[in-house]
Amino acid sequence: MTCKSWQDGLNLHKYMQIFSEEATYNERSLNFKPREKWKLFRELISDKWTQAFIDKIFDETGQRDLIYYIAVTKLTGKIKDYENIETPEIIKNRFQKYNSNILLKVINLENILLAYFDRVKNKKTPTLESSTVGRLLQLIHAANLTIK
């Protein structure tokens, strides 16, 4: 999972084009560009980062296939574009070079909170949440407050 907590949100349509491009490398020189957009998703775009990413996942889990979640504050652009997101072929091919399959999924903060509140509502015991944020959300739910 990668978290993009950008205040302006994520326009995935714009980034899908970046996902489909090849990574360009810059030597440290006068022309070096440290903030190229592809670097925000380097493990999806750069062959050397993709291989290292898959190797690390395999070391930790014994698995080579994965669902790659992009958690965002909010989505911008055409919202219907996010409902049926497909993993671009170029990304599938990059991962398959290293015997791995990938599926991209995007979740926004609203969906994360809705899933959390649904889980808390259906808990069988009123045990305290284990994190400070979880406890705060649990108290918001217990007070019947809504977030607008």
Q: pLDDT by residue (tens digit) across 98-122?
A: 999 999 888 888 888 888 888 888 8
pTM: 0.76
Q: pLDDT by residue (tens digit) across 5-32?
A: 888 888 877 887 887 777 776 666 666 6
CA pair distance 61, 63, nearest whole angstrom = 5
In this structure, what are the phi and psi dihedrals at residue 131, rounded to the nearest 5 degrees? -120, 160
Q: Are 88 and 24 in contact (CB under 8 A)?
A: no
Whether the pLDDT of residue 50 is over 80: the answer is: yes
SS3 94: helix
* Mean of all residue pLDDT scores within the chain: 83
Contacts of 87 (CB under 8 A, 6+ apart): 102, 103, 104
Q: Are 49 and 22 in contact (CB under 8 A)?
A: no
For the chain, the domains span 2-108, 112-142
Q: Which residue has the higher pLDDT, 91 or 78?
A: 91
Residue type for position 51: Q
Report pLDDT for 27.
Answer: 61
* Order of all β-strands in the sheet with 66-72: 2-4, 66-72, 102-108
